[in-house]
Amino acid sequence: MRPMLELSGVERRRGEGERAFTLAVEGLSLRKGECLAVTGPSGSGKSTLLDLLGLVLRPDRADAFRFLDQDVAALWRSGGDGGLAALRSRHLGYVLQTGGLLPFLNLRENVELSRRLLGLGPDALTGELLARLGLTHLKAEKPRALSVGERQRAAIARAFAHRPALVLADEPTAALDPPQALEVCRLMLELAAEFGIALVVVSHDWELVRKLALPQARVVPDAGSGACRSRLEWPADA
């Protein structure tokens, strides 16, 4: 099966002066339904990687960058913002650390937002997601009435509701206690497997990643580069 996401020779520099650093991704690929955990120390470039995969950060260099048979590198070079926006809105889902729910919408409306923005009508998946994530009884509540864990589960439901090809989760368990964190991540893995959605989870919780037995890529300082630089190390058995 051909990868739905494939990067090689990708680099991006961020910051200025002494605070500048470069993230190098020599190779990364994901197939439909595959899951990957990305770990690394704070400030190493994990968020930069997510911004690249989320098509919101233009690479400085890209030998290859393909997503769903689209040449993303060529779209960046040609200024194809419309094509990039279409890929982001239809085929990407994002789970933020804080949940990112809109305070003036109730829980169900927040979950359905990704579908509404695409002009998609009601779907049975919304109700299924709410039930699977234990949120059905809270569907009319505003975010302020929800616990941290409930807001995070709602954010996960929203990310999956429009059946994207790829879901990116940025420290989705940072505000949760260990049992909640394990439950939330297992739910994401179940949903990804069931709907054939690729999943990338950035986490600082290495113990959680170990318990979930996820393939792991690490963002590590490149000590031999002579500059402030990190690289993505792909799993040895990939």
Indicate which CATH number applies to the domain containing 220. 3.40.50.300
Helix axes 107-117, 124-132, angle to 10 degrees: 140
Q: Pick from 64, 24, 73, 7: which is nearest to 218 by CA? A: 24
Tell whether pTM > 0.85.
yes
Query: What is the C-alpha to C-alpha distance for residues 168 and 179, in angstroms, rounded to an integer?
Result: 21
Amino acid at 87: L
pLDDT value of residue 235: 55
pLDDT-derived band at 236 (thresholds 50, 70, 90) equals very low
Yes or no: say if 152 and 184 are a contact pair by the CB < 8 Å rule: yes
pLDDT value of residue 163: 93
pLDDT value of residue 237: 45
Q: Per the domain annotation, does 238 fall within a domain?
A: no
Q: How many domains does the chain have?
A: 1
Domain range enclosing 180: 5-233
Q: Per the domain annotation, does 75 fall within a domain?
A: yes
pLDDT digits (tens, 9 = 90+) for 74-99: 999 887 678 899 899 999 999 987 78
15-19, 28-32, 42-46, 176-180, range with the lowest pLDDT:
15-19
Yes or no: say if 47 and 64 are a contact pair by the CB < 8 Å rule: no
